[in-house]
Amino acid sequence: MWSIGLLSCALMSFLNQFFSYRTEPLIVTQITVQVASLPMGHFLARVLPRRKFRAPAALGGGEWSLNPGPFNMKEHVLISIFANAGYAFGNGNAYAVMIVDIIRAFYGRSISFIAAWLLITTTQVLGYGWAGLMRKCIVLSCATWTMFGLSEHRGALHEKEESPKGSRQISRSKFFLVALICSFAWYVVPGYLFPALTSISWVCWVFSKSVTAQQLGSGMKGLGIGAFTLDWSAVSSFLFSPLISPFFATANIFVGYFCFLYVLVPTAYWGMNLYNAKTFPIFSSHLFMSNGSAYQITDIVNQQFQLDTEAYARLGRINLSTFFALSYGLSFATIASTITHVGIFYGK
């Protein structure tokens, strides 16, 4: 259990960080580890020696073995917990790694390993602190549907499947293997051979010379009206698989998504031209000057890695795209909304 758990934690951490640099991040979830660790656990239970060793008295004494017995569900659950730690507890990759990347890649500055490690570690364990402070409200009183898919999946893996004699029905393990091979084979097409299948924007094809049509129809740089995808990673890259969450959660996300993308953003961009929004792209994460050209952020940072106020006054204020500004602002609002949520649902 320890060997598989530590390996899965390290491997999940590496893979999710590696794939996080994609346009559509490919997130490897702990369900993958649940499936892969089952045959691995049974294999190690067969081949590892059962010889027992006695621990030193300084470590408490007692006996231990490399092979404690048959692989069971308890070990499977603990391996999943290890994997969840490498999975950044549901977020895919460690959030603060982006800060280190920005310092090195965009600013050309160096940061020591100790400083980077402390930054990443403290931000990762910050959630534990909040969970401890609000344990009564958000831990003991929380709904458990988020773990329902994992529990059902784990239970199905350990169930003994019995099929009637003469039945041509394939087992669940064989069905999973066939589905795995087919999905892997298909992903080669949108992932490597034909990336255009990730976002098929027919509106952009029909009105190829219209800027407004590109803003409305592009699935990569616009509102994605009429666009569709044949790449599952594009569907589950940011909100994870919609097959796991219950319908009310998916519907809630969809309503918020629709109101934000198709009501709030168009109103601010075309309806109000908020802060001269039409001067800049509707969808972009870059920074712009007042005339729409790219903002050189390194020009307003001095040698001490601080804001150069004189240079900033000379170049002018930083401008963001409408989508980026609103999404960034609402992301801060979600922090305050957690307090409102707890107060409304659990306040007495």
Using H for helix, E for strand and C for coil, what is the string for 26-57?
CCCCHHHHHHHHHHHHHHHHHHCCCCEEECCH
- Residue with the bigger pLDDT between 238 and 7: it is 7
* E-assigned strand segments in 25-152: 52-54, 63-65
Helix and strand element counts for the chain (H, E): 15, 2
Q: Is the pLDDT of residue 145 over 70?
A: no
Judge contact between 28 and 68, C-beta under 8 A.
no
Q: Is the pLDDT of residue 269 over 90?
A: yes
- Report how far residue 333's alpha carbon sits from residue 348's, in angstroms, rounded to the nearest whole number: 24
- Residue with the bigger pLDDT between 282 and 245: it is 282
Q: Is the pLDDT of residue 205 over 60?
A: yes
Question: How far out from the chain centre does Cα 13 lie?
Answer: 12
- Report how far residue 140's alpha carbon sits from residue 160's, in angstroms, rounded to the nearest whole number: 33
pTM of whole model > 0.75?
Answer: no
| pLDDT tens digit sequence for 13-61 | 888 888 888 777 777 777 778 888 888 888 888 888 888 877 777 776 7
Average pLDDT for the chain:
81
pLDDT at 153: 63
pLDDT, mean of residues 300-314: 88
| pLDDT tens digit sequence for 116-140 | 999 988 887 887 787 778 777 666 6
- Report how far residue 303's alpha carbon sits from residue 324's, in angstroms, rounded to the nearest whole number: 28
Q: Is the pLDDT of residue 243 over 80?
A: no
Report how far apart, in Å, the C-alpha atoms of 240 and of each of 46, 62, 81, 168 are. Answer: 35, 44, 18, 34
Beta bridge partners of 52: 65
Q: Which residue type, as a one-letter code, is found at position 50?
A: R
pLDDT at 123: 83
CA 9, 13, 16 angle in degrees (round to 5)?
135
Highest mean pLDDT among 7-21, 142-156, 176-190, 281-295: 281-295
Give the contacts of 71 (CB within 8 A, at least 6 positions apart). Answer: 38, 41, 42, 44, 45
Report how far apart, in Å, the C-alpha atoms of 66 and of each of 44, 55, 70 are. Answer: 9, 13, 12
- Quickly state the pLDDT bin for 142 (edges 50, 70, 90): low
pLDDT at 198: 83
Q: Which residue type, as a one-letter code, is found at position 166?
A: G
Tokens encoding 133: 């402070």
- Quickly state the pLDDT bin for 97 (edges 50, 70, 90): confident
Phi, psi (rounded to 5 degrees) for 63: -110, 150
pLDDT at 92: 61
pLDDT at 88: 57
- Report how far residue 125's alpha carbon sits from residue 95's, in angstroms, rounded to the nearest whole number: 11
Helix (H) or strand (E) holding 66: none
Do the bridges between strand 52-54 and strand 63-65 make them parallel or antiparallel, or are there none, so unpaired?
Answer: antiparallel
Cα atoms in the 13 Å half-sphere on the side-chain side of 214: 8
